[in-house]
Amino acid sequence: MEYNKIIFSRLLSSFLWTVALQVFPLLLYILLTNFDVLHPKEWLVNSASIVFNFGTWLSLMPIHGLIFAIGYIMSLEHKKPAPLMVSRFKFCANIFTKTNLIKFFMYVSVGILVPWIYLKLNNFEMWLECRELSGSYCLNENSVFLVACGAWTAAYYFVRYDLLVEKHLEFPIIRQLKFLQIRYKFLNIFDICLISSIVPLFYYLPIYMWYRVSINQLFEFVLATTVEPMIVTGFTCILRISLLWHSWLIATSFFAIMKTLDLMIQIHFTERCEFALIEQPNSKAVLLSTALGENNMPIIQHLACYDLYILAMSQKSTRWQIFTLSQPGGHPHTWNAILSESLKLIESFINEIETICKVPEPVKPKSPVPRHIHVRDMTVRHEEIITGPVPLSPTTKLRNLVEHPAKVEVKERQKSAMDEFRMKMDTLMEKIKHNSVIHYIFGNKPDAEVCYLLSKSQPLIWVVQSIAELSANALHEDQFGIVLKDLPLIINTLLQLKYSLDKLGNIQNKFHKRDDDICMKAALKSALKRSLYRIAIAYSDYLTDLPLSSENLSCMQNFVNFKEC
């Protein structure tokens, strides 16, 4: 319940900021479509009166509702772990889900509402008096062109920037105030949108030229009205400067609205969340150690690891509770809980690396089964005993329990038609599996598990540095020595992680490397190296007193001497 409150509060804040910042794309559209050099004062005043009118914001309520629904679905995607796409077929199958279909419908709805409402606010002539039916009004084909352009832009944006893009939160490297992040990144959005919105227009113009009649018939069917065609027909109808100008600004406005929502979710969901270190009576605050173990809710685990990292890197006065003892009892529950969850996270990562690097044992072929089985003939000795003239020796006077058994011969079973069919099907399946096209689509990608593992390494980067920083500072801040008892375990775990990363590097060299994988792997190795240096330098005089293996002790001595092992 508390986790849902944390996520919903950030979602609500993101939504309110998105609604407030919608002033700028709307103002941009109104200003540029009503540009008047001769009367600049009236131009600015009229544009501002349209944008800041209360009725304008009431008319934008449907767009705001859809934006909140899209943001809610995005927050749900960050709550659950990302699936592992081991094959290209599974990636394609994951596209056609109920959630994606709902999001696609919402995106297209926003793409339709944005031009429709913007054109009405701009007093665009959307309805004309029908030439064939006097006294009745028909839908202007210019408005059909612009509304269809908005729907196409929304579909393009959904496929290009949502469906085919990995969804993950990028936490800031350097902490900044939320307002400074919004001011800096929001100004760059319009530069990106003005250029990015040109691409869907290039696709839309030829599509509208060829399917113009079908699009008009679709609008007539949905709206139960008649579309008044433009006087100019053919390809020249879409080359009118005013239509191209309006369509470009509408596409830019849609891009700006959706990218603003993405930016607000990115900023608010990566903002630090301060978790409680000690459980207080009559308090429902989430403990840091509890949040660290939330593997089924990645956003909460990320926030907990990020909070632990900031706490470890802050001043002594802010982290003193970690080194305290419980009262009554005198037990280091806080440190034990944080260390336990942190080591679980590291060991889980190590186990996954070992699973990836494990080489499967070759399957031994089965020994061939003989076609004929001959039973030993026990009657020969019996005949010799009965008819032989030579008296039997004491060693040959044995009990004969064999009563002339018949020779048993197991003949080879003839293959039936079903066996032949099964053999042919097995051969056919083997050929299909080794087909290059089938293997490309349905076969497992060799680097899928490595990429998936590296994509989850951001919390590990924070945890490794946090544990190392707390261990190093405990030499002077830990009055009760609660960290020193766990120091050998911490060093051994970090070194084991280092050895596993070296194995992962050897495996990854065989595959194609992506930029994100290279960055995450380099960041993880750098964080681990800094952590080992931090501990080695802090405890350089006491390393020989710790119960470490000779290999680990030699490696730590190399870090003390600023030589990597």
Tens of pLDDT along 81-104?
Answer: 888 888 888 888 888 889 999 999
Mean pLDDT of 497-519: 73
15 and 161 assigned to the same domain: yes
Percentage above 70 pLDDT, the chain = 85
Q: Where residue 419 falls among pLDDT bands split at 50, 70, 90?
A: confident
Q: Are residues 258 and 303 in the same domain?
A: no
The pLDDT value given to residue 510: 56
Q: Which of 25, 44, 33, 47 is nearest to 241 (CA)?
A: 33
- The pLDDT value recorded for residue 325 is 84
- Please report whether residue 432 resides in a domain: no
Q: Is 48 inside a domain boundary?
A: yes
3-state helix/strand/coil string of 365-411: CCCCCCCCCECCCCHHHHHHHHHCCCCCCHHHCCCCCCCCCCCCECC
137 — phi, psi (to 5°)? -115, 145
Instruction: Say if residue 312 is in the same domain as residue 227.
Output: no
Q: Of 158-172, 183-197, 217-231, 451-465, which gets the smallest average pLDDT?
A: 217-231
With tokens 């009554």, the residue in question is: 328
Please report the pLDDT score of residue 125 as a whole number: 79
pLDDT value of position 266: 94
pLDDT exceeds cutoff 70 at 407: no
Of 57-66, 224-233, 489-498, minimum mean pLDDT range: 224-233
Look at the block and give the residue holding tokens 């000690």: 278
229, 216 in Cβ contact below 8 A?
Answer: yes
Considering only 312-316, 381-385, 460-464, which range has the smallest mean pLDDT?
A: 381-385
Position 37 scores a pLDDT of 81
In the predicted structure, residue 236 carries a pLDDT above the cut 70: no
- One domain for residues 163 and 255: yes
Q: Are residues 540 and 499 in the same domain?
A: yes
Contact 493, 343 (CB under 8 A): yes
Domain boundary at 209, 236, 269, which?
269
Report the pLDDT value the prediction gives residue 271, as an integer from 0 to 100.
Answer: 93
**pLDDT at position 411, please?**
46
What number is the average pLDDT over the span 175-185?
88
The pLDDT value recorded for residue 488 is 94
Task: Average the pLDDT over 205-233 and give the result.
Answer: 83
The helix (run of H) or strand (run of E) holding residue 237 is none
End-to-end CA gap in the chain: 46
In this structure, is residue 492 part of a structural domain?
yes
What pLDDT shows up at residue 256? 95
Q: What is the 3-state secondary structure of 301-332?
A: HHHHHHHHHHHHHCCHHHCHHHHCCCCCCCCC
pTM over 0.85: no
More confident residue, 540 or 282: 540
Q: Is residue 341 part of a domain?
A: yes
Mean pLDDT is lowest, of 48-52, 125-129, 171-175, 318-322, for: 125-129
Calpha distance 287→460 (Å, rounded): 19
340 lies in the same domain as 265: no
Residue type, 267: I
The reported pLDDT for the residue numbered 531 is 95
Same domain, 59 and 198: yes
Is residue 307 domain-resident? yes
CA-based nearest residue to 491, from 319, 380, 346, 348: 346
Domain residues for 15? 2-269
Q: pLDDT grade, residue 412 (50/70/90)?
A: very low
- The C-alpha atoms of residue 79 and residue 301 are separated, in whole angstroms, by 10
Q: Would you state the pLDDT for residue 383?
A: 44
Same domain, 159 and 303: no
Span 424-429, average pLDDT: 80
User: In this structure, are residues 261 and 18 in contact, taking their beta carbons and an 8 Å threshold?
Assistant: yes
User: Is 425 within the bounds of a domain?
Assistant: no
Taking a C-beta distance cutoff of 8 angstroms, is the pair 67, 110 a contact?
A: yes
Q: Strands of 127-129's sheet, edge to edge? A: 127-129, 137-140, 227-228
Distances (CA, A) of 191 to 153, 197, 277, 325, 513: 17, 10, 44, 55, 30
Residue 400 domain-assigned (yes or no): no
Residue 133 pLDDT level (bands cut at 50, 70, 90): low
Same domain, 246 and 293: no
Q: Is the pLDDT of residue 450 over 70?
A: yes
Residues 353 and 478 in one domain: yes
Which of 15-19, 220-224, 262-266, 556-560 is predicted least confidently?
220-224
pLDDT band at 243 (very low <50, low <70, confident <90, very high): confident
Q: Which pLDDT value is given to residue 438?
A: 77
Given pLDDT bands bounded at 50, 70 and 90, which one contains residue 385? very low
pLDDT score of 355: 86
Mean pLDDT within 223-242: 68
Q: Which of 103-107, 182-186, 235-239, 485-489 has the lowest mean pLDDT?
A: 235-239
Mean pLDDT of the chain: 84
C-beta of residue 133 within 8 angstroms of C-beta of residue 226: yes
For residue 377, is pLDDT > 80? no
Q: How confident is the model at residue 21 (pLDDT cuts 50, 70, 90)?
A: very high
Do 348 and 497 lie in one domain? The reply is yes
- 115-129, 408-422, 428-442, 476-490: lowest mean pLDDT where? 408-422
The amino acid sitting at 32 is L
Question: What is the tally of structural domains in the chain?
Answer: 2
Is 423 contained in some domain?
no
The least confident of 33-42, 185-194, 433-442 is 433-442
The proportion of the chain whose per-residue pLDDT surpasses 90, expressed as a percent, equals: 44
Do 218 and 256 belong together in one domain?
yes
| pLDDT for 92 | 84
